[in-house]
C-alpha cells in the first residue's frame, strides 16, 4: 500500500504541474485541453468502478470546458481517491472488480491493476501534453517521478 499511496501522491502532484503549465502559458489549444480533460474523466471513471458505481454516463473525449472546470475535476478526483485508498487494506488490492467498459463490454480486474492503470494512463498522456506544450512554444514541465521524490 505504501508504494501505491506514494505513486498516487505523485499523480496528484503531476496533474497539478501540468495544469499550472497550461495556465501559465495561456494555452488555448482545444485538442490539448481535450486531452487534459480526458485524463481527469478517466481518473473519475476508474474511481466510479472501484466504488461499485457505473461509469457509462461519462464521456471520455468531449471538448474541454474551461481550465478551471478541469482543475476542479482533478481536485475532486484527488480528494475521492485519498478517501478510497485510506479505506482499503493491502489485502483489498487483490479484490476483483466487475465492471463494464465505456462500450458496455464486461470485465473483471483487480483493484491493484485498476490503480496501476490510473497511474500509468495519466503518465502516458502527460507525456503527450508535454510534447504539445513544446509545439505551442511553451516549456514542457518536469513530471517524472524522481523529480517528485526529490522534493
pLDDT in tens, 4-43: 999 999 999 999 999 999 999 999 899 999 999 999 999 9
* Interior angle at CA 32, CA 26 and CA 35, nearest 5: 135
pLDDT in tens, 69-78: 999 999 999 9
Sign of CA dihedral 35, 9, 78, 94: positive
Domains of the chain: 2-149 (1.20.120.450)
Q: What is the C-alpha to C-alpha distance for residues 141 and 41, in angstroms, rounded to an integer?
A: 21
Q: What region does 64 belong to: left with phi over 0, alpha with psi -120 to 50, or beta?
A: beta
Q: What is the C-alpha to C-alpha distance for residues 56 and 29, in angstroms, rounded to an integer?
A: 27
Question: What is the number of other CB atoms lying within 10 angstroms of the CB of residue 78?
Answer: 18
Residue in the structure block whose three cell numbers are 472488480: 97
The set of residues, in sequence order, having a beta carbon less than 8 Å from that of 107 and lying 6+ positions away, is 98, 99, 100, 101
pLDDT in tens, 93-148: 999 999 999 999 999 999 999 999 999 999 999 999 999 999 999 999 999 999 99
Q: What is the C-alpha to C-alpha distance for residues 94 and 90, in angstroms, rounded to an integer?
A: 8
pTM score, whole prediction: 0.94
Q: Is 93 exposed, middle or buried (0-12, 13-18, 19+ CB in 10 A)?
A: middle
**What per-residue confidence (pLDDT) applies to 94?**
97
Question: What is the number of other CB atoms lying within 10 angstroms of the CB of residue 22?
Answer: 24
- For residue 95, the SS3 value is coil
- For residue 97, the SS3 value is strand
Amino acid at each position: 500500500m505504501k508504494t501505491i499511496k506514494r505513486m498516487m501522491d505523485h499523480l496528484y502532484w503531476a496533474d497539478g504541474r501540468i495544469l499550472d503549465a497550461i495556465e501559465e502559458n495561456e494555452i488555448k489549444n482545444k485538442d490539448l485541453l481535450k486531452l487534459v480533460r480526458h485524463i481527469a474523466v478517466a481518473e473519475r471513471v476508474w474511481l466510479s468502478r472501484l466504488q461499485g458505481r457505473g461509469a457509462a454516463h461519462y464521456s471520455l473525449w468531449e471538448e474541454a470546458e474551461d481550465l478551471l472546470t478541469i482543475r476542479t475535476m482533478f481536485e475532486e478526483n484527488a480528494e475521492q481517491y485519498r478517501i478510497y485508498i485510506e479505506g482499503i487494506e493491502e489485502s483489498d488490492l487483490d479484490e476483483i472488480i466487475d465492471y463494464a467498459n465505456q462500450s458496455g463490454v464486461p470485465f473483471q480486474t483487480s483493484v491493484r491493476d485498476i490503480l496501476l492503470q490510473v497511474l500509468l494512463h495519466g503518465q502516458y498522456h502527460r507525456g503527450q501534453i508535454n510534447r504539445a506544450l513544446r509545439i505551442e512554444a511553451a516549456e514542457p514541465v518536469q513530471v517524472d517521478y524522481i523529480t517528485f521524490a526529490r522534493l
